[in-house]
Amino acid sequence: MMAEQDLRFAPDVCLYEGLVTHVREGAVSHRLAYRVTSLLLPLDALGDADRRSALFSVNRFNLISFHETDHIEGPFDSLGDYVADLIANSGAFPDAAERPTRFSILAFPRVLGRAFNPLSIFFCCDDSDRLKAILYQVNNTFGERHHYLYRLTEEDASLSQSARLHHEGKKKFYVSPFLDIKGQYDFSIRLPHDKLSYQITLHGDQPSSLMASFAAKKMAFSTGNLLVTFVRLLQSGWKILAAIHLEALKLWRKGAPFHKRPPLPTDPVSALHRSVIGKGLHQ
């Protein structure tokens, strides 16, 4: 049974504008940072979001848009159905009655029909808005995808809304030719409210550690803010892809070792477990 003070999460459609930072330390040191705007979208509010602004559309072309198919593999009618199927087949919720039923996604929208999402995050709740799990969807530039799933524990349920959730798991998916498939991920995330922040650190069996983070402030989902996002081209998929390839070139020039791409994991979802508080990540 879940505690009475279970974490609740019932977001409205909104934007988060902030800074993505990557820091590599070790045999090859490197740092990059760029400003982005993410969309937080409850999947049961797609129709409402589609009607909110003339500049934004769902599953249709517009200056800024969100397309469910960007996050789906296989013959599913909706993104919610796809996420529910991933969770059902992950083994994390043997009791079907305990599985989440409502999902919100944090992702980059399309700008002029183009988007690339290295990481999208699904917040998975039950019908009473209790947060049950967090699903991380990871894409690489080779058109491949993998998921990491964290099921909240009773200890997590007793935390305050502003507390950080900490979890970890083995790296299973190839994201960069300059990172070995070996290693461990540490995740630290604060649920999106007025502010949003998360940090993911890769360490162990690597010549260099890597820390990726996003810290952002909430913005109203309005035509004015969407127009600012478009004019600044903060969300251009081309910009993100160009930045990734430019940084790869810089790493190659610094002598970072190159790792061949291994086969995809057999299972589309890898399990994460609660971290032991006290590591440097969790301070």
Per-residue pLDDT tens over the stretch 83-136: 999 999 999 999 999 999 999 999 999 988 888 899 999 999 999 999 999 999
Residue 220 lies inside a defined structural domain of this protein: yes
pLDDT of residue 22: 84
Residue 36 lies inside a defined structural domain of this protein: yes
Q: What percent of the chain has pLDDT over 70?
A: 81
pLDDT of residue 237: 52
| pLDDT under 70: residue ranges of the chain | 1-5, 26-30, 177-178, 205-208, 233-262, 277-283
Residue 2 lies inside a defined structural domain of this protein: no
pLDDT of residue 278: 44
Residue 118 lies inside a defined structural domain of this protein: yes
Please choose, from the candidates 44, 16, 50, 165, the residue with its C-alpha nearest in 3D space to the C-alpha of residue 103: 44
Exposed e or buried b per residue across 26-55, where buried means at least 16 C-beta atoms within 10 angstroms of its C-beta = eebebebeeebbbbbbbbeebeebbeebeb
SS3 label, residue 107: strand
pLDDT of residue 254: 54
pLDDT of residue 27: 60
Please choose, from the candidates 37, 10, 43, 42, the residue with its C-alpha nearest in 3D space to the C-alpha of residue 193: 10
* 204: containing domain: 15-278
Residue 7 lies inside a defined structural domain of this protein: no
- Provide the β-strand partners of residue 198: 189, 214
CA distance 199 to 215: 9
Any idea of the CA torsion for 94, 97, 102, 108, to the nearest 10 degrees?
A: 0
CA distance 156 to 132: 10
Residue 4 lies inside a defined structural domain of this protein: no
Residue 225 lies inside a defined structural domain of this protein: yes
pLDDT of residue 93: 98
Domain tally for the chain?
Answer: 1
Residue 9 lies inside a defined structural domain of this protein: no
